[in-house]
Amino acid sequence: MAERPPRVVSLVPSLTETVFALGAGGSLVGRTRYCIEPAADVGQVPVVGGPKDPDIPELLALRPGLVLMSVEENRREDYDRLRASGIDILPVRVRAVSDVAPVILELGRRLGAVDAARAMAAEVEGAAEAVVSFVNDIQRASAQSLLHSFCPVWREPWMVASQGTYLADVLRRVGLPSLLHLAEAPGVASYREVALDEIVEVDPGIVLLPSEPYPFGPDDRDEVLSWPIRACREQQVHLVDGRMLTWYGARTASALHALSLLALRWVGVEEEPPAVPPTVH
């Protein structure tokens, strides 16, 4: 008889979505208030606070056998409290697209969904390879200089990710790296403030305004369109679903495909990279 999957609490929205995509949603007994996908199913799972303010007593009362956490999204003190309670924890650290498949495989192993995890991991790896190869070929064929982008994660002050974050790696892979993504080094934070003068100096050719973590909207887009940068002159300021840039797991393959289309349309290419059947619709 197959071993029954553990009772799971997820404190990471993208992992909550991935658990459902693996067909193991029935094992979830707790989630954060930001775990909103898949919308049709997640509402039945009790909320235990947020990623950075979980209600630990309420979480423990659910008697989980496994808690899903992220090194970047969750707090060390909450990890320590749960570990001291004897709870099994899967702490993930995803800093690049290449980190996603191993996380999916380990999640599948823990949840008894090995076959589904292998299929999803293969989809992610295939999408990453196809998109990178296609974007590079098109850039060479069209004799375009390397595109570079501005993709803030916050405003007042404006903030961007540094290299060594999942968001930065996703943009790099689809051909839209940012000159504002500083390389990791001692003292360089994962996210840093940037002044408008610095943005104007690098003159990005395309601006992506994601819906999260800061909820950029039409008013923000109108403001950015007034800046003296190439992206504004060419009307290349786009509001995008932030989950494509920060939610790893079930969403990774389709996000790479969608973002690569945006990059290719900017250089005037009508072809599309090989389609990847999305795990998330």
CATH number at residue 48: 3.40.50.1980
pLDDT at 173: 87
Q: What is the pLDDT of residue 178?
A: 86
pLDDT in tens, 15-52: 999 999 999 999 999 999 999 999 999 999 999 999 99
Q: Is residue 226 part of a domain?
A: yes
Round to whole Å and give the CA distance between 247 and 98.
Answer: 14
- Residue closest to 70 by CA, chosen among 95, 44, 45, 97: 95
Domain count, the chain: 2
| Regions in the chain scoring below 70 on pLDDT | 1-3, 134, 136-147, 182-189, 266-281
123 and 249, same structural domain? Answer: yes
Read off the tokens for 98.
């290449």
Please name the residue that has the structure tokens 């790893």: 248
Position 130 scores a pLDDT of 83
Range of the domain at 62: 8-93
Residue 98 falls inside a structural domain? no
> Helices (H), strands (E): how many in the chain?
12, 9
Question: Do 149 and 224 have their domain in common?
Answer: yes
Tell me what pLDDT residue 54 has: 96
Tell me, what's the pLDDT at 101?
97
| Domain assignment of residue 279, yes or no | no
Q: Residue 112 falls within a domain, yes or no?
A: no
